[in-house]
């Protein structure tokens, strides 16, 4: 039986993938909202991650405004078996003609890609661009661990995971879950902390459990969605 999206109907899938290694990941720098691209290793991670989901139908894509997540999405989709054409939808771009970048007419092969700042990485404030080890030497390993892994403690001038969740979860509820309820399979390419906040919500993790959660780069995490419940495959 075919669902609304045109493929064999089953439980809708939510596919989450953290971007591949970025230039500042490789340099051991706090990145946050600084917009840096992938390394060669990150490109390969994105391609390999895409091969892992190449057989799964994808109806809609969501990514952040940051190039490392967008590169990861496009590289992963380049491996997909359906051969759809990803088209990025720039919402509220401030131009006088916001519809100039929209296709005209019905094009069945389009795969819509929605760009949302709400999916951006946690903003690291005064730490952005600084070396991890230098900050550890200055403040101590324990303090840096708290800044990076706690739920409600933010780095100087930056966001806590709780603050990040205050933008990612409403986006999940308003932009992604309605599509899942329509039977669509959704692919989200984002960041370690924006995905941690989403996973904390959909897996109902405690504050203690979220401290231990590490989202690997370039590895798809696949969830089946059934009437408001997510189950990791």
Residues taking part in catalysis: 19, 121
Nearest partner of 59 among 109, 115, 128, judged by Cα: 109
Could you tell me whether strands 221-226 and 13-18 are parallel, antiparallel, or unpaired per DSSP bridges?
Answer: antiparallel
Query: 29: helix, coil or strand?
Result: strand
Q: Indicate the burial class of 129 (C-beta count within 10 angstroms; 0-12, 13-18, 19 or more).
A: middle
CA distances to 8, 102, 196, 205, 207 from 162, in Å: 38, 35, 10, 13, 10
Angle between helices 132-139 and 141-149 (to 10 degrees): 120
Rounded CA separation 193/129 (Å) = 17
| CA nearest neighbour of 5 among 187, 174, 170, 172 | 187
How many whole angstroms separate alpha carbon 165 and alpha carbon 146?
A: 17
Q: What is the dihedral of CA 193, 131, 49, 10, to 10 degrees?
A: 0
């Amino acid at each position: 039986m075919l669902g609304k999206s045109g493929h064999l109907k089953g439980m809708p899938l939510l596919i989450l993938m953290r971007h591949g290694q970025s230039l500042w990941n490789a340099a051991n720098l706090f990145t946050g909202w600084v917009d840096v691209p992938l390394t060669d290793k990150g490109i390969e991670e994105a391609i390999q991650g895409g091969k892992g989901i190449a057989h799964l139908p994808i109806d809609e894509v969501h990514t952040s405004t940051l190039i490392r997540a967008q590169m990861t999405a496009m590289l992963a989709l380049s491996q997909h078996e359906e051969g759809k054409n990803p088209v990025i939808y720039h919402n509220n771009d401030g131009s006088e003609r916001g519809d100039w970048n929209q296709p005209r007419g019905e094009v069945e092969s389009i795969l819509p890609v929605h760009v949302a700042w709400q999916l951006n990485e946690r903003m690291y404030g005064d730490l952005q661009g600084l070396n991890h080890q230098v900050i550890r030497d200055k403040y101590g390993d324990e303090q840096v661990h708290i800044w990076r892994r706690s739920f409600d403690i933010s780095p100087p001038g930056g966001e806590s995971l709780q603050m990040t969740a205050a933008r990612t979860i409403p986006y999940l509820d308003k932009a992604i879950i309605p599509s899942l309820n329509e039977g669509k399979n959704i692919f989200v390419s984002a960041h370690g902390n924006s995905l941690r906040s989403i996973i904390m919500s959909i897996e109902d993790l405690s504050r203690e459990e979220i401290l231990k959660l590490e989202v690997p780069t370039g590895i798809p995490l696949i969830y089946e969605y059934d009437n408001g419940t997510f189950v990791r495959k």
